[in-house]
């Protein structure tokens, strides 16, 4: 299905795995590879509250907001919790200065770590420094 941060090929979608914002943006922009990846897998994948907020932030009008909200209904959502917040702070302390980790990415990674699931993203380099996190680039 896709290449992991270490270069091996992932064959199946991790049930409950988290799909990163970049892949959803591609799908909303009708990028064939994103649509192909999500087709059939979307019922197994989840999105984080941060990803929902990032997509809403990108809306320029009510029509786009309605389109994004309709699209997001396909996925189960994972909210924020105290453990996710603490993990996100820890990740920022550890990787902000050394690797430039950004707050949304820290919280997305913390959510995946807290739930023990794979993170599917095109931006593997944003996350590869986090050793306990399984990251897969699906296309």
pLDDT in tens, 83-138: 999 999 999 999 999 999 999 999 999 999 999 999 999 999 999 999 999 999 99
- pLDDT reported for residue 11: 46
Spatial separation of the C-alpha atoms in residues 109 and 112, rounded to whole Å: 5
Q: How far apart are CA 109 and CA 64, in angstroms?
A: 27
Query: What is the average per-residue pLDDT within 33-49?
Result: 94
What percentage of the chain carries pLDDT values higher than 90? 87
Mean pLDDT over 43-64 rounds to: 97
In order of their start, the domains of the chain are 2-137 (3.40.50.1010)
Contact partners, residue 92, CB within 8 Å, separation at least 6: 101, 103, 106
pLDDT at 40 over 70: yes
């Amino acid at each position: 299905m896709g290449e992991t941060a270490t270069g091996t090929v992932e064959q199946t979608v991790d049930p409950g795995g988290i799909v990163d914002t970049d892949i959803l943006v591609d799908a909303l922009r009708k990028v064939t590879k994103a649509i192909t990846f999500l087709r059939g897998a979307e019922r197994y994948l989840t999105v984080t509250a941060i990803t929902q907020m990032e997509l809403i932030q990108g809306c320029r009008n009510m029509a786009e907001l309605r389109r994004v909200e309709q699209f997001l209904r396909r996925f189960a959502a994972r909210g924020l919790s105290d453990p996710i917040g603490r993990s996100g702070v820890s990740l920022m302390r550890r990787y902000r200065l050394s690797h430039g980790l950004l707050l949304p990415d820290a919280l997305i990674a913390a959510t995946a770590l807290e739930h023990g699931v794979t993170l599917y993203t095109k931006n593997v380099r944003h996350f590869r420094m986090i050793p306990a996190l399984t990251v897969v680039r699906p296309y």
